[in-house]
Structure 1
């Protein structure tokens, strides 16, 4: 009972400024963001995504160039769009959108976002569980499995989910410190594991690497039942797998604490260590597993094969450091739906939902598809908010329209969001694409353009109506 009281007192004292700008006294230094993004993007899911390029038959040079260019574009998206918007407003995307769109739209957006964050975090928990399962000699699901393998594995999921949820309830500061503790050594494990396995593929010198890479790792030939990934698949995926965070501005929740907008460059640590080096390393490990006859390896098996128990521990911690900020964001999203409830209580509920979802391995095996759908839904909202913050003041339109007009629903936001999602889907279907991410950028641009046009029309009509009412009032007085 005493422990429960102490926990409640601690979390009650945390102020996350959910419905107000972060004060200058609470901004963080650059180091906080390096640790946060490194911990989040050097994740247990790298042991899922890296092998996908191998299984989908990507060619070696397509992988290298695709990851290089795609991760550069992702970094620039944080630097040029997300961080400037966050520092200018000092608010979360959820509160800023409410000011722009009204309670009606933000209720729908927060519901979708909260659920999507839960699903993303559940995949991280599942990856961590696969490593713990190997430590305890409990067989977990492979990369292609859709259902739990045993009650014991489900028990592991609940134990990991409990740890992650408790950390997330303490807010940004504790999540950031947790990441800073573990972020420095995780890249070493990924790199060492990949290098250690190269001799088993026939690499005895640096000059052998590219030959072996083309012949035994990224061969250009997909395994049975998988579509083929090209340079464009790799580049677009590397750029847009986190598009909800950067172009969609969900990471305003993180960068609103940044002292300067230039701190968005911290994302490069996550992109080029986690989404470049770690994806290459896990791809190498997957190729070794396939060569050894393991057709459906789990993330834990891949890590254990390359780095033993250190690799398993890396998977566990990497899952935690990614799920922590994800559940934190989800709690902020859902808190927008229930502003009278404490954020920490909502975060606990969100953590429980996430843990239940993590019991289904489908969220790990279909992670690339899920992230693609997520990008189509979330990215257009980012372009709408960017236009409202930076473009509207320059062209004479009213920013934060719903807040200033005390409107429950801003129809220009609703029309723009709906049209952009529909346009993205039609683009995806019309060109017979096999990758949802290909439609994310057209949807983002469509949201940006249609919002400016519809806002111009609606605000002009509203102004005309206000003038008519004002003239009518003057005539009545006369």
Structure 2
């Protein structure tokens, strides 16, 4: 009865997600609901991918702990001081706000790219959840470095997991938030318990010798064969900017537009320090044990099973769901911007099918860090454009939402800003021979903000007569 009440399919067709209007005050959510949502999203099944990557790339113990502390503080501040204020001020999705700024033609390009990238991110979550279900049914899932599907049974599990996630996402923000609130409270304890449970097998006999074992057997400072060396700066930048597209790239305007106050951005700390600190450390410990036992290519499910048995597998499944649900929800909003007359729930189903198809290819999981880096590079300048347009332009007497004002489908100042910022950032990446695309995400954001002020000023000077005729 409870499930039917929750998931009434007729209601799903009529859910109003305010895709093209501000969220009304009557629909804002409490701080507690945001804590559940962000904790559920960032205590994810992919933590069983990212934590092990640090081990495989030879990070030292001190670099892990210090880097994650600094990086996650910066990420929390980015949501609190950049994303949430923009979302609360406009109450709009990033997709509709950007349409008002750059026009339907240009935002369609952005929406298509964003929808595709969100679908890839959701596919990674589906793949991680499926790896745990596979163990329950005796189906061997792909390892952390696998690239292709390994069995028909594996693909069928992917389809089943993807179907559940897509169905939940079609019901909109309300159900996505409720789904997270059910599972967020207990998932951290499973991650923590799993990591602690295996420490004796690695040689930890007391609190006093943990640090010695951590340096000798877990985060050794020596990368696995074929892996590049990660250092303190890699950890800081990754933990800060792995969600760059969400905070300084402003994709989470779609979530925080439901916040009562901008200070609700602090809710992100629950996701960062439980999911991106404690869970990454715990999963790194589990990966170290798997390597010690001779499993050189463990799957996320196998890693979880080592520490918490069936409870660990269930945690991986649920953690994948609670992250994929809001990701597919965002993807639905992005693609809905391309087809405003089409119901969001229909588009979300299509996106869910696309994500499920992509999830059949394990390369989505094995290359997750690289994918997130390129996503950050593409999204960062767009976030800067929106911040400048919302907050700076009114202060310097320039027109905000120019495309809407002059009814233009393609704002050239935004196009040149985006193209040049991405191009210059990529040039820096190549010229300096960097091994981490995240390193150029922040320069891309800063370059985008500066260029948009310059190009926007020139454009509005050229349009001064037209603007005057409109009474502006």
Q: What is the match of residue 415 of structure 2?
A: 414
Residue 69 of structure 2 aligns to a residue whose secondary structure is: helix
Q: What is the match of residue 114 of structure 1?
A: 115
Q: What is the match of residue 94 of structure 1?
A: 95
Q: What is the match of residue 14 of structure 1?
A: 15
Instruction: Write the mapping of 1:269-348 to structure 2, written as runs, cut at 5 A.
Output: 269-348=270-349
Distance 1:469 1:274, change over 3 A: closer
Q: What is the match of residue 66 of structure 1?
A: 67
Residue 395 of structure 2 aligns to a residue whose secondary structure is: helix
Q: Deviations over 1:62-119 (max 9, x none)?
A: 1111000000000000000000000000000000000000011100000000000000
Q: How far does residue 436 in structure 1 lie from its aligned partner after superposition?
A: 0.2
Q: What is the match of residue 353 of structure 1?
A: 354
- For residues 317 and 9 of structure 1, what CA distance do their matches in structure 2 show? 25
Q: How far does residue 164 in structure 1 lie from its aligned partner after superposition?
A: 0.4
- For residues 458 and 84 of structure 1, what CA distance do their matches in structure 2 show? 27
- For residues 469 and 324 of structure 2, what CA distance do their matches in structure 1 show? 53
Q: Deviations over 1:349-377 (max 9, x none)?
A: 11001100000000000000000000000
Q: What is the match of residue 381 of structure 2?
A: 380
Q: What is the match of residue 475 of structure 1?
A: none
Q: What is the match of residue 132 of structure 2?
A: 131
Residue 147 of structure 1 aligns to a residue whose secondary structure is: coil
- For residues 464 and 434 of structure 1, what CA distance do their matches in structure 2 show? 48
Q: What is the match of residue 473 of structure 1?
A: none
Q: What is the match of residue 205 of structure 1?
A: 206
Matched pairs, number? 466
Distance 1:327 1:467, change over 3 A: closer
- For residues 438 and 377 of structure 1, what CA distance do their matches in structure 2 show? 13
Q: Which runs of 5+ in 1 are unaligned?
A: 471-478
Q: Deviations over 1:425-462 (max 9, x none)?
A: 01111111100000000000000000011000000111
Superposition RMSD in Å = 1.3
Q: How far does residue 12 in structure 1 lie from its aligned partner after superposition?
A: 2.1
Q: What is the match of residue 452 of structure 2?
A: 451
Q: Deviations over 1:222-269 (max 9, x none)?
A: 010000000000110000000000000000000000000000000000
Instruction: Write the mapping of 1:214-229 to structure 2, written as runs, cut at 5 A.
Output: 214-229=215-230
- For residues 464 and 373 of structure 1, what CA distance do their matches in structure 2 show? 40
Q: How far does residue 465 in structure 1 lie from its aligned partner after superposition?
A: 5.8
Matched, 1:169 2:165: no
Q: Deviations over 1:373-430 (max 9, x none)?
A: 0000011100100000000000010000000111111111001000110011011111
Matched, 1:155 2:150: no
- For residues 370 and 204 of structure 2, what CA distance do their matches in structure 1 show? 33
- For residues 421 and 198 of structure 2, what CA distance do their matches in structure 1 show? 45
- For residues 37 and 440 of structure 1, what CA distance do their matches in structure 2 show? 22
- For residues 467 and 29 of structure 1, what CA distance do their matches in structure 2 show? 43
Q: How far does residue 55 in structure 1 lie from its aligned partner after superposition?
A: 0.2
Q: What is the match of residue 237 of structure 1?
A: 238
Q: Deviations over 1:297-337 (max 9, x none)?
A: 00000000100000000000000000000000000000000
Q: What is the match of residue 36 of structure 2?
A: 35
* TM-score (normalised: structure 1): 0.96
Q: What is the match of residue 403 of structure 1?
A: 404
- For residues 466 and 121 of structure 1, what CA distance do their matches in structure 2 show? 43
- For residues 465 and 50 of structure 1, what CA distance do their matches in structure 2 show? 55
Q: Name the larger-Rg structure.
A: 1
Q: Which runs of 5+ in 2 are unaligned?
A: none
Residue 380 of structure 1 aligns to a residue whose secondary structure is: helix
Residue 393 of structure 1 aligns to a residue whose secondary structure is: coil
Q: How far does residue 28 in structure 1 lie from its aligned partner after superposition?
A: 0.6
- For residues 341 and 301 of structure 1, what CA distance do their matches in structure 2 show? 41
Q: How far does residue 160 in structure 1 lie from its aligned partner after superposition?
A: 0.5
Q: How far does residue 167 in structure 1 lie from its aligned partner after superposition?
A: 0.3
Q: How far does residue 9 in structure 1 lie from its aligned partner after superposition?
A: 1.8
- For residues 465 and 243 of structure 1, what CA distance do their matches in structure 2 show? 37
Q: How far does residue 14 in structure 1 lie from its aligned partner after superposition?
A: 0.8
Residue 394 of structure 1 aligns to a residue whose secondary structure is: coil
Residue 294 of structure 1 aligns to a residue whose secondary structure is: coil
- For residues 470 and 40 of structure 2, what CA distance do their matches in structure 1 show? 56
- For residues 407 and 125 of structure 2, what CA distance do their matches in structure 1 show? 40
Distance 1:275 1:468, change over 3 A: closer
